[in-house]
Amino acid sequence: MTGTGLQLAILSGALIGFGVSLLVWRLAPADPDLADALQRLSPDRARRHASDAVHQSGDSRERLGIWGMKTLPAGAWGSVPRRELAILRVPLSRYYGEKLMFALVGLVIPPLLTTLFTLLGASLPLFVPAVATVGLAVGMFFLPDHNVRDDAKKARAEFSRALGAYIDFVALERNAGAGPRQAMEVAAEVGDSWVFRRLGEELARTRWSGLTPWDALHGLAVELGVPELDDLADIMRLSGEEGAQIYRSLRARSAGMRTAMLTAEKGKANEVGEKMSIPMSLLGVIFLAILVAPALLRVMGGGP
């Protein structure tokens, strides 16, 4: 009995000591892992923040895309529009998920229509729904590519318009005596559009990433496929590294961008005008045919 009581006392003391040790270990300050901290603060980790938020929210497209990335071979996806996804801030897993969802819809529609036609009494040969299923699934699988490129084209046009205003703000700040970094950061805080927020995020990230602001803008220009942003980075590099006076260069660049956008808008307006002239011409031809047709019918019929 005495031995058993002593063993229980030793065991209880050991458990209490182990619990106290765990508590002290949990509450004691620990030195952070520098590599892990830098990885969490890296630009790639920050750019994946939106993707992680979508994944944590339980988006079905995100989960389906992650499954597809793990299951399907890389060559099955075709050409991935990475720049378009970057400017739209669409995670790659969500893009893959949309492709798979569209393909699944394409696989389901032909069998449903075939079943409906069968119930109505219209039987179809077996190869017709089979070919339609495969063709529609493949076609809808690549439909998100067209949607992403179209949306990215509109986003780049909006980015260019906002960038012209941003360059003007940077020029005004530089003319007021602000330094290159300060001028770029203050100008990014003026607007509240997604373009200004994107520029502000990149500039804020340079404070701890070790990059200069113009190098960050150059990387963003390559990532998004916006050459106008690369021109701004080159101009700001001259100011930051060589101390050049860039007010006139910035104003000239923004004026050139506005001229190019105005020319593009005029071209689109001319295209719309040409398209509108075609139905008007057809209406004129139809109107002349209505006027001439009775006379031609009388001549051909030999009537009075």
DSSP 21-77: HHHHHHHS--PPPHHHHHHHTSHHHHHTHHHHHHHHTT-HHHHHHHHHHHHS-GGGG
Task: Give the Cα separation of 118 and 110 in Å (integer).
Answer: 12
Task: Give the Cα separation of 51 and 85 in Å (integer).
Answer: 12
Contacts by residues 169-178 (CB-CB < 8 Å, ≥ 24 positions apart): 170/232, 170/236, 170/250, 171/246, 171/247, 171/250, 171/251, 171/254, 174/239, 174/246, 174/247, 174/250, 175/247
Question: Residue 227 in contact with residue 221, Cβ under 8 Å?
Answer: yes
Under 8 Å CB-to-CB from 208, ≥6 apart: which residues? 41
CA–CA distances in Å: residue 274 to residues 37, 76, 267, 281, 288 = 59, 41, 11, 11, 21
Look up tokens 């006076």; give the residue: 245
Residue by residue, pLDDT tens for the chain (304 residues) are 444 555 555 656 666 766 666 566 556 555 555 555 555 555 555 555 544 444 444 478 888 888 888 887 777 777 888 899 999 998 888 999 999 999 998 888 888 888 887 888 777 777 777 888 888 888 888 899 999 999 999 999 899 889 989 999 998 888 888 888 888 999 999 888 899 999 999 998 888 888 888 999 999 999 888 888 988 888 888 877 666 678 888 888 888 888 888 888 888 787 777 777 777 777 777 877 787 777 777 777 655 5
Task: Give the Cα separation of 37 and 18 in Å (integer).
Answer: 30
DSSP 122-141: ----THHHHHHHHHHHHHHH
Under 8 Å CB-to-CB from 261, ≥6 apart: which residues? 157, 160, 161, 164
Q: Would you list the domain boundaries of the chain? A: 56-141, 155-255
DSSP symbol at 32: P
- Fill in the amino acid letter for 166: Y
